[in-house]
Chain A
Amino acid sequence: MSAVDVTTRNNVTVLGREDGPAVVLAHGFGCDQNLWRLVVPALAERFRVVLFDHVGSGRSDSSAWSAGRYSTLDGYAEDVLEICSALDLRDVVLVGHSVSAMIAVLAANREPDRFAKLVLLTPSPCYVDDGDYRGGFSRDDIDELLESLDSNYLGWSATMAPVIMGNPDRPELGGELTDSFCRTDPMIAGVFARATFLSDNRADLPKVATPTLVVQTAQDAIASQEVGRFVHEQIAGSELVTLDATGHCPQLSAPEATAAAIIGFAGAR
């Protein structure tokens, strides 16, 4: 795949200081690169900031999506590596939110030389409880999530399908595209949700050799503090920061503190 193909496929945006160290921001399940909007200005002052949409999310090229490649997190990790290679990025600071924290771990384990540091924002290596491990959810809970994605299927397909399909006969749908923020084809979302919430990447954590910062919030319904501590303990030499913030998306609920944590870790020698 050519560099242009990769940047189009993943709707890659590059901004900030051209001579700055590269910081790649990877969004999680349920949204797109817009999620970083509030932390980007602070990061762009010091770094070369690279944003992208996972295939199937945001304004990525959904024709590049295939169930085969994107049914496991490996496909997404492969994309991250292809983006870094296409832009010829070195000593990358890779910031992964939510499921992208594990995608970042997989990418860094595959090409350790490419990455200088990892920032794992509200990570969870495994959402489903397993013996003594408390991921926070039962298998039934995950099935329920997949069901709620399905029940949002009809409402979506009626209005969004022609837009995503790129229907030139219906230009009036162009307006809808601006409202497509965080919208995604529920079928694709369902596959991404399965990959997100049913993956178990606990065994990948001890293999991380890249300096890592784990950032969690005080109250997170998706990735508990216990899970954040687990990630920290499994990655040797990692640092753990608990932000005085609530929710699963600190880049939205506490953008200053989140940006400060990333800058403090990424900028340190």
Chain B
Amino acid sequence: MCQADDAGGAGEGRDEDRVGAMFSALLEDSAEDLYENAPCGYLSTLMDGTIAKINGTLLGWLGIGREELVGRRRFSDLLTVGGRMYYETHIGPMLTMHGEAGGLALELKAADGTRLPVMATSRVKTGADGSAQLIRITLFDARDRRAYERELLRARQESEADRDRARQLASTLQRTLLPPSLMTVPGMEVAAYYHPASVDEVGGDFYDLFPLTGDSWGFFLGDVSGKGAEAAVVTSLARYTLRSAAVYNPEPVKVLDNLNTVLQQQYRGGEIRFCTVVYGCLVPDDTGCAITLVSGGHPPAIVVRADGTTQFLHTHGGMLVGAIPDARFTEITAHLGPGDTLLLYSDGLTEARPVGGSSERYSEEELLDHLAASAAHGASEVIASLTELLTGFGDGVEDDTALLALSIPLPRDGDS
């Protein structure tokens, strides 16, 4: 055993010697040859950039003789003008202050005028006393990499442009789904606000106010399930259906029946698309206006009275519009007198998280209290107060939010 071990050990020793001899034959001039003919460019400069030493690989890339460069030229002279400016204003200061600079994309100018993209890494060599002595720079041929990066950069620029186009499209489409400005209703003040949750997608909330026969007016505010292009299709369908249905038969329950049928037929057999809507009709009278409201699964409208008290207008039993055939909707009536305001809103407001990321959502009751406490009178003031509230919520507003308010102004002093 022992003998065999010894013999084996001696045998391994001879193998190591052989391998060692073979390697040293290959690496006879090791350090110097490795420096001169390394597969990358090497150079060392004084702290002011004057070239002190440069390897054969780099001289070959440049097509310039060693004697023309050493002691005569600076590293930045080898760069394009742009690269030189970058070196003088950024890389040089960084080396002096920080001792190293890496991952630098630069271009060398060869003697024949061609340009060679390189990746550079550089580090300051310090003496025993810690003082900076030299800058050592390693350059890698980056032609392939640069071509690849250019492709990436181009793809990135393209995707940024696409994103801009998509936003543009979303905002254009959004505008077509909302009235550009509210129509003026004689003897009333009207105001609206729309806050899209995202600039990238079309929101699912909608509203409108439009004249019906005689001096009556129709209005609605709704919220489509989902968002994006799919929801926009439903929003568009809902908005135009509500308007044309109201022309055909302005009775509010019939208007929602009609929309329910249209949505059912449109999405028969496919994914169900539904929405929540408050639809109303107002008819001016001697003391203000009479309002008939019908709601399909939508948060209750609120009335802010002239004396500051607030109340919900509940329409109990109203079903989601488009979810099931023969959905039932119930109607209520109310009256607005001078100083009274009717507010329709979407759940983007009442389901916001007032403190960003909080699990506590704002609620319909808090909204009612806010309006009572705000002392806001009239449609414009109510919308302004709620816009301010939403702005305060910041990122806590996670969904689109639509607001529509109608009010009967108080008679001004001197009016009879």
Q: Interface of A with B (CB < 8 Å)? A: 28-31, 34-35, 37, 98, 137, 141-155, 181-182, 197, 221-222, 246-249, 252-253
Residues of chain B lying within 8 A (CB to CB) of residue A141? 81-82, 85
Interface string of B79-91 (1 = CB under 8 A from A): 0111111101110
Shortest CB–CB separation between residue A192 and chain B, in angstroms?
10
Q: How far is the CA of A221 from the CA of B82 in the complex (A)?
A: 11
Shortest CB–CB separation between residue A204 and chain B, in angstroms?
22
Residues of chain A lying within 8 A (CB to CB) of residue B34? none
* Chain B interface, number of residues (Cβ within 8 angstroms): 30
Shortest CB–CB separation between residue B403 and chain A, in angstroms?
29
Q: Which of B49, B88, B97 contacts A35 (CB 8 A)?
A: B97
Task: Select from chain A the residue with minimum beta-carbon distance to B79.
Answer: A148
Interface string of B89-115 (1 = CB under 8 A from A): 110111011100001111100000000
Q: Is the CB of A30 within 8 A of B82?
A: no
Residues of chain B lying within 8 A (CB to CB) of residue A249? 88, 92-93, 96
B373 contacts A by Cβ under 8 Å: no
Residues of chain B lying within 8 A (CB to CB) of residue A247? 48-49, 88, 92
B146 contacts A by Cβ under 8 Å: yes
B152 contacts A by Cβ under 8 Å: yes
Residues of chain A lying within 8 A (CB to CB) of residue B105? 148, 151-152, 155
Task: Select from chain A the residue with minimum beta-carbon distance to B101.
Answer: A182
Q: Interface of B with A (CB < 8 Å)? A: 47-49, 76, 80-86, 88-90, 92-94, 96-98, 103-107, 117, 146, 149, 152-153
Chain A interface, DSSP helix/strand/loop, else mixed? helix
Q: Is the CB of B94 within 8 A of A221?
A: no
Shortest CB–CB separation between residue B153 and chain A, in angstroms?
6
Q: Is the CB of B93 within 8 A of A35?
A: yes
Shortest CB–CB separation between residue B289 and chain A, in angstroms?
46
Q: How far is the CA of A150 from the CA of B105 in the complex (A)?
A: 9
10 additional A-B residue pairs with CB within 8 Å, beyond A31-B89, A248-B92, A249-B96:
A30-B89, A137-B85, A148-B80, A148-B105, A150-B153, A154-B153, A182-B94, A182-B98, A222-B88, A249-B93
Task: Select from chain A the residue with minimum beta-carbon distance to B106.
Answer: A148
Residues of chain A lying within 8 A (CB to CB) of residue B152? 154
Task: Select from chain B the residue with minimum beta-carbon distance to A137.
Answer: B81
8 A–B contacts from the bound complex (CB under 8 Å):
A28-B89, A34-B97, A137-B85, A143-B82, A145-B85, A182-B90, A221-B85, A249-B92
Q: Which of A155, A222, A252 contacts B103 (CB 8 A)?
A: A155
Q: How far is the CA of A150 from the CA of B146 in the complex (A)?
A: 12
